[in-house]
Structure 1
Amino acid sequence: MKQRIVLHIDFDYFYAQCEEIRTPDLKTKPVVVCMFSDRGGDSGAIATANYTAREFGVKSGLSILSAKQKLKNRTDSAFLPADFEYYSDMSEKSMNIIKKFADVFEYVGRDEAYLDVSEKVERDFTKASHIAQQIKNEVREKTKLTCSVGISPNKLLSKIASGYKKPDGLTTVTPDNISEFMETLNLSDIHGIGKKTQQKLAEENIETISEAKSLDIFALINMFGRKSGTYIYNAIRGIDDEPVTIRAPTLQLSKISTLREDSVDYAFLEKSLLELCEKLHLSILKENKMFRSVGIHLTQDDLSTKTRSRMLRNPTFRLDELKKVSRQLLKEVLEDQSTLVRRLGVKVSELSDIEGQSDITSYF
């Protein structure tokens, strides 16, 4: 296989940095971007914080009340409501600059993207480094945003490398120094190796990447199953074959709501979910669409998320079908759920127009 060169672009503390650009006086102050809940007051959680606020232990997922407690001695702290429309606009401007440098551009989210630049740089890592610096310079010049860039032969390593020298970093991992680079990391630095995996490895006295490499693939499969065991075996060696791929625009309709209280009770969540289905169905009628995929989205009280979706056999616009599938997905996602749910959402995708009908309401 020909040498691949992949860049991972990651904007530094993106939402908070956008706020600093909009209001330059904030740059020297702790800036905390909040997702306020519909319950009023300081109910809600932190979306992100700038580095000044992070020095006081404020990070995403923390409750707003806890963050205010940590920053009680900083009277100049700014607690701002998230403005996703503004962040999306800043992201779009930046991504339009970045994508012109890529052979293949993969949008991941508002603040990150992968670029395959193999052909453009003639598979030369020095040229790739120059392109990465050009990207950083042009984005800063035109949007004032800083970003960190990781360069390597694959997506896994590039994502780790982009976080290596934050903020405003640039790290290159060539094929010759993958092993050396991996030795500088903790197991927790590798995407997909979470706390539970680390705990299980620790039970076998495995706490570093070097120690993990002493396990053969069969031992890892025995511990974690074929899929996860194989992934861990490859990841700790910096091996990843997933290509950079163009992501098609997501066409979907959705409704999301903050619950009156955090809960894990099925009956309470089902009632809220069915109300969302009815609101979503009105949007489906208004857009004159049919859907073939139904999904639900749970935001937990620590701001982590869970999603489930199901593809239907045939497209439909029926409310009873939407409710039935949503209920099934909710039951599935709650089977091993112990964390309280804060926000609940339902969405439909794989949309298509109703053929032969000028208006969907003529079906009724």
Structure 2
Amino acid sequence: MKQRIVLHIDFDYFYAQCEEIRTPDLKTKPVVVCMFSDRGGDSGAIATANYTAREFGVKSGLSILAAKQMLKNRTDSAFLPADFEYYSDMSEKSMNIIKKFADVFEYVGRDEAYLDVSEKAELDFTKASHIAQQIKNEVREKTKLTCSVGISPNKLLSKIASGYKKPDGLTTVTPNNISEFMETLNLEDIHGIGKKTQQKLAAENIETISQSKSLDIFELINMFGRKSGTYIYNAIRGIDDESVTIRAPMLQLSKISTLREDSVDYAFLEKSLLALCEKLHLSILKENRMFRSVGIHLTQDDLSTKTRSRMLRNPTLSLDELKKYQDNYSRRHLRINLH
């Protein structure tokens, strides 16, 4: 395959860092960005937290009440409502700086992007490292934000590398040290190898990347199917041929609702999901957009989450299509979990 140099840019604790920049006095305090629910009070979940708060165990997805309990001895803690308009503005300023360094720029989200710099770096990883440092310096100078950068021959490794020395890190994985780098990782560090995959491997006494390499591609396909098995075989070896692709920022529309009370009543939950579908559809019509991807995210009373999504065959703006997906999800997943 043609040699490439790919950068992955990942902003550190982005929402909380934006709040620290807006209010510098917060830098030494635990900062927790919250998604407050319509139940009122402290009902809701954590969107992100700065590293000071993370030292106490606070992390994304945790309930606000649980986070406050963890930080009960830090009376200087700041629990702030998420301000997505402000975060989007900070992101746009940063991405406009970053994209000028790329041969090909791929926007992933407010705090994340891929850059193919193969031509600008002349396939030289030392030059690519200098480009990455220039990006970090200019972003910090103009927005005060810090970001971590991973550099490697592909997207998979660059994403792993950007998280290797957070915060404010810069990690380079050259073609010659891929194997050495992979040996420093855990299976869970590889995108796409989740808990269920790890459990299945553990049942075969496979718990490390080194051990997983003892399985040939046919054994992995037999265990996980052709697509997943082939992906795992390549991923544990640091192999990835996905291109950096120019893509406009996708518009994501969502509606979030917290039930007035916990419930295992299927009819009530289904009715609540239908109401969300109707509200979401109104937003879609107002934006004059079509949608192609649909997803549902549930947080249960033990704070565990379940997420399901589906790519539709064709773009649509049909409310019936939304309801059809919701009905299919309810029948396949809610009933299983409630009975």
Same fold? TM cut 0.5: yes
Judge conservation of contact 2:106–2:245 (CA < 8 Å) in 1: yes
Judge conservation of contact 2:63–2:303 (CA < 8 Å) in 1: no
Judge conservation of contact 1:105–1:245 (CA < 8 Å) in 2: yes
Judge conservation of contact 2:11–2:145 (CA < 8 Å) in 1: yes
SS in 1 for 2:79: strand
Judge conservation of contact 1:61–1:302 (CA < 8 Å) in 2: no
Query: Which ranges of structure 2 fall in alignment gaps of 5 or more residues?
Result: 325-335
Once residues 181 and 64 of structure 1 are traced to their aligned partners in structure 2, the CA distance between those partners, rounded to angstroms, is 37
Once residues 311 and 151 of structure 1 are traced to their aligned partners in structure 2, the CA distance between those partners, rounded to angstroms, is 30
Judge conservation of contact 1:292–1:315 (CA < 8 Å) in 2: yes
* Aligned match of 2:338: 363
* Worse overlay, 54-63 or 289-298: 289-298
The 1:73/1:247 distance shift into structure 2, 3 A limit, reads same
The 1:287/1:17 distance shift into structure 2, 3 A limit, reads closer
* Worse overlay, 123-132 or 60-69: 60-69
Judge conservation of contact 1:45–1:303 (CA < 8 Å) in 2: no
Judge conservation of contact 2:33–2:82 (CA < 8 Å) in 1: yes
Once residues 337 and 79 of structure 2 are traced to their aligned partners in structure 1, the CA distance between those partners, rounded to angstroms, is 49
SS in 2 for 1:57: coil
Once residues 138 and 284 of structure 1 are traced to their aligned partners in structure 2, the CA distance between those partners, rounded to angstroms, is 37
Judge conservation of contact 1:139–1:145 (CA < 8 Å) in 2: yes
Q: CA-to-partner distance for each residue in 1:45-89, whole Å, 9 max, x for gaps? A: 111111111111111111111111111111111111111111111
* Worse overlay, 308-317 or 221-230: 308-317
Judge conservation of contact 1:149–1:161 (CA < 8 Å) in 2: yes
- CA shift for structure 1 position 254: 5.1
SS in 1 for 2:256: strand
Q: CA-to-partner distance for each residue in 1:95-137, whole Å, 9 max, x for gaps? A: 1110111111111111111001111111111110000000000
- CA shift for structure 1 position 175: 0.2
- CA shift for structure 1 position 220: 1.2
SS in 1 for 2:282: helix
Once residues 37 and 122 of structure 2 are traced to their aligned partners in structure 1, the CA distance between those partners, rounded to angstroms, is 50
- CA shift for structure 1 position 34: 1.2
Once residues 169 and 54 of structure 1 are traced to their aligned partners in structure 2, the CA distance between those partners, rounded to angstroms, is 18
The 1:251/1:112 distance shift into structure 2, 3 A limit, reads closer
Once residues 304 and 318 of structure 2 are traced to their aligned partners in structure 1, the CA distance between those partners, rounded to angstroms, is 31
- Across the two proteins, how many residue pairs are aligned to each other? 328
Q: CA-to-partner distance for each residue in 1:300-326, whole Å, 9 max, x for gaps? A: 6687876666777888766556544xx
- CA shift for structure 1 position 273: 2.9
Judge conservation of contact 1:13–1:50 (CA < 8 Å) in 2: yes
Once residues 162 and 287 of structure 1 are traced to their aligned partners in structure 2, the CA distance between those partners, rounded to angstroms, is 34
Judge conservation of contact 1:150–1:162 (CA < 8 Å) in 2: yes
Once residues 205 and 292 of structure 2 are traced to their aligned partners in structure 1, the CA distance between those partners, rounded to angstroms, is 48
The 1:172/1:24 distance shift into structure 2, 3 A limit, reads same
Judge conservation of contact 2:107–2:249 (CA < 8 Å) in 1: no
C-alpha RMSD of the superposition: 5.2
Once residues 250 and 300 of structure 1 are traced to their aligned partners in structure 2, the CA distance between those partners, rounded to angstroms, is 28
Judge conservation of contact 1:62–1:302 (CA < 8 Å) in 2: no
* Worse overlay, 273-282 or 188-197: 273-282
The 1:127/1:304 distance shift into structure 2, 3 A limit, reads farther
Once residues 22 and 168 of structure 2 are traced to their aligned partners in structure 1, the CA distance between those partners, rounded to angstroms, is 19
- CA shift for structure 1 position 27: 0.6
SS in 2 for 1:308: strand
The 1:289/1:9 distance shift into structure 2, 3 A limit, reads closer
Once residues 80 and 64 of structure 2 are traced to their aligned partners in structure 1, the CA distance between those partners, rounded to angstroms, is 11
- CA shift for structure 1 position 35: 1.2
Instruction: Look at both structures and tell me which one has the larger radius of gyration over its CA atoms.
Output: 1
* Aligned match of 1:76: 76
The 1:66/1:362 distance shift into structure 2, 3 A limit, reads closer
Once residues 291 and 110 of structure 1 are traced to their aligned partners in structure 2, the CA distance between those partners, rounded to angstroms, is 20
- CA shift for structure 1 position 263: 4.8
Q: CA-to-partner distance for each residue in 1:168-221, whole Å, 9 max, x for gaps? A: 000000000000111111111111111121122122211111111111111111
Once residues 66 and 292 of structure 2 are traced to their aligned partners in structure 1, the CA distance between those partners, rounded to angstroms, is 42
Q: TM-score, normalised by structure 1?
A: 0.81
Once residues 216 and 362 of structure 1 are traced to their aligned partners in structure 2, the CA distance between those partners, rounded to angstroms, is 36
Judge conservation of contact 1:190–1:235 (CA < 8 Å) in 2: yes
The 1:20/1:228 distance shift into structure 2, 3 A limit, reads same
